[in-house]
Amino acid sequence: MGDLIRFRDDETHEEPAVTLDSFLEQANATTVRLEPTDDPRALIPYLDRLSLIEVSFPKFRDGRGFSTGAILREAGYAGELRAAGDILVDQINPLRRCGFDAILSEAEIDRDVLAKLGGLYEDVYQKTVDGRAPLWARRNAGTHG
């Protein structure tokens, strides 16, 4: 349960996510739920068959999931990457920069605040998995298109 916000156009995946251990025991599961202590790289052999990876955020202060998301996208995962749990509206932009394209928040997310925050920053300093050109690339566009 919770407030689901998706930043992708495909249909919502209905199959319930299973734990990493259960996923690794099954031959055909297409969804998995990672806890902060799970190693996302255990999923690398199966990324093609996965359509939803849910990453658990038990407390908003626990930032391990940010690395989990980035690692999965760096490894080429293209399915839905959902951050689920105790998530503040102010964390949604950084989550998206780490590759998350769906948020399942325990508390309702204020859409007005989200919209306002989404448009605040035109540019970013770092290269991440979200594909945005970092400022060092924009500034030196003559040499690094």
Is residue 2 involved in binding other proteins (CB under 8 A)? no
Helix (H) / strand (E) containing 86: none
CB nearer other proteins, residue 6 or residue 64: 64
CA gyration radius, the chain: 16
Write out the binding residues for other proteins, residues 29-88 only, by CB under 8 A.
36, 60-64, 66-68, 70, 74, 88
Is residue 124 involved in binding other proteins (CB under 8 A)? yes
Q: Looking at this protein, which amino acid is placed at residue 113?
A: V
How far is Cα 8 from Cα 12, in angstroms, rounded to an integer? 9
Is residue 111 involved in binding other proteins (CB under 8 A)? no
Stretch that binds other proteins, among 1-9, 10-18, 23-31, 137-145 (CB under 8 A): 137-145
CB nearer other proteins, residue 10 or residue 35: 35
Beta-strand ranges (E) seen in the chain are 3-6, 18-19, 31-34, 52-57, 80-85, 102-105
Is residue 113 involved in binding other proteins (CB under 8 A)? yes
Percent helix / strand / coil, the chain, rounded to 5: 35, 20, 50
Which residues sit at the interface with other proteins, rule CB under 8 A?
Answer: 36, 60-64, 66-68, 70, 74, 88, 90-91, 93-95, 97-98, 110, 113, 116-117, 120-128, 134-136, 138-140, 143-144
